[in-house]
Amino acid sequence: MKKVLLTLFILGFICEGYSQENNEKTTKNSFTIEEAVKFAVENGYDVKSKKIDLDIAKKKIWETTAIGLPQATGTVAYQHTFKVPEMSFGQYMDPTTLPDGFITRDDILAAYKNSEPIALGVANSTNWDITVSQLIFSGEYIVGLRASKVFREMSEQNLTKSYSDIKESVSSSYFLAIVMDENLKLLKETQKVNDAYLKDLVAMGEQGLIEETGVDQVRIMKANLDNAVQSIERLTLVSKKLLKFQMGMPIENEIILTDSLGKYTNETAFTPYLAEVFDVTKTIDYQILETGVKLQKLSWDRERTTFLPSVAGFYRHFEQLNAASFNFQPKDIAGINISIPIFSSGMRTMKVQQARLNFEKMKVTQQQAIEGLNLKYQTTFNDFQTSYASYLTNKQNMQLAKKIFNQTMIKYKEGVASAMDLNTSETQYLTTQRDYFTALDNLLTAKVKLDNLLSKN
């Protein structure tokens, strides 16, 4: 009994440990940017859809390939004939009916009898046959096989683009969330300082060292700052929910962002982009366009092959159960079918011309898209430069405004500065703080877009 209890205790301990380990794996809620992107790649809705498209493309290749491989079909048919047709060979002479000895004309005529009718079929019959066919030559098949492989290539490129797009969206949302966290942290520090100043000012007011209106002015400032903190807290929650949605993570799950802004806001993280050279041919959008041109060219080639003959060989084995007496159906047949297009009143020619025009149109679309990608890079790069300059300026402004606010608070306590001066300096500090974090988010977003365009994924 003791051994049984000991065994159960050990098994329970192992199962509990395994359960805890499993729960830790399934409830992971701490993410760096790289981990968040990896999670999104594995669980994102768009990526899952693109992976299914790639699987479909792979199966489409085999489907197209199978057209040129041997095909076998079997058929079983049952047939009932209500009235079986018959055939008679007329009269015939039966020598056994002739008398011995002298035979007269009448005897010969009497020896003729009507032949029994012969059925030309059976009332109930079951037939089965097996046919094996093999495509020998078809221009459409050859082009179709090439097109299916190019289609798979495009599906792979679409999946790669989905990876790039999800990295851009997740990274932007991640940056927004940690910017909001940092903004909230700084606001709470300011709030804490204000609370301390307000406590001191209330004590000084009670002692008659400063006017009550001055204390009320600081109370108004505190109320405004409290509202700002609550607003940023709500926006921080919304930004994290957006991030979880883009990651394919349940909205109700908790998420902890472990990366800090300092890792991405040092000068070396931005200056290399100022010397980057854009090569449009390296972008996934350009590669998808190139593949689209290939597909359109293959569509043109396929229409041109409709003027060529197609050749197929076949073998057929036929069996008939309960066959009729007269059955001329051969059991084994082999042959070759050649289909030669002769005349279509210009229909095939028009299809070829349409395919050629669509190919030329695709080339124009490609050139337009290339120009659009170059323009997009220039716009994004200009946004990055503007955001970078704005970030540096607002960062310096926030530091100066904080310094002015602290000095004004000290002067106010000493009676040198007025309540209006204090209110102005705090408003200026909060404004520069807001502008700084807005500029920082714009800069990080522009950086992520540049990463995507420069294929830094």
- Mean pLDDT, rounded, for 165-191: 90
Q: Residue 399 and residue 223: Cα distance in Å, rounded?
A: 23
Out of 26-30, 56-60, 378-382, 383-387, pick the least confident.
Answer: 26-30
More confident site: 328 or 28: 328
Integer CA distances (angstroms), 278 to 32, 304, 373, in order:
28, 39, 10
Band of pLDDT at residue 7, cut at 50, 70 and 90? very low
What is the reported pLDDT for 409?
79
Task: Specify which residues 356 forms β-bridges with.
Answer: none
**349: which 2 tokens?**
């020619």
pLDDT at residue 152 greater than cutoff 70: yes
- Mean pLDDT, rounded, for 6-12: 37
Residues 306-338 pLDDT 10s: 899 999 999 999 888 877 666 777 888 999 999
Band of pLDDT at residue 376, cut at 50, 70 and 90? very high
Which residue ranges form the domains of the chain, and what is each CATH number?
31-72+136-310+342-453 (1.20.1600.10), 86-119 (no CATH)
Band of pLDDT at residue 15, cut at 50, 70 and 90? very low
What is the reported pLDDT for 86?
77
What is the reported pLDDT for 49?
85
Residues 251, 242: contact at Cβ < 8 Å?
A: no
pLDDT at residue 68 greater than cutoff 90: no
Task: Specify which residues 310 forms β-bridges with.
Answer: 339
Q: Residue 338 and residue 135: Cα distance in Å, rounded?
A: 10
What is the reported pLDDT for 292?
92
Contacts of 328 by beta carbon, 8 Å cutoff, 6+ apart: none
**10: which 2 tokens?**
């050990």
Out of 36-40, 67-71, 177-181, 393-397, pick the least confident.
Answer: 67-71
Q: What is the pTM of this model?
A: 0.71
What is the reported pLDDT for 132?
93
Length of the chain, in residues: 457
What is the reported pLDDT for 18?
36
What is the reported pLDDT for 325?
67
Q: What is the mean pLDDT of the chain?
A: 83
Residues 211-245 pLDDT 10s: 666 667 777 777 888 888 899 899 999 999 999 99
More confident site: 56 or 87: 56
Q: Residue 64 and residue 69: Cα distance in Å, rounded?
A: 10
Could you give the percent of the chain with pLDDT greater than 90?
A: 33
Contacts of 142 by beta carbon, 8 Å cutoff, 6+ apart: 305
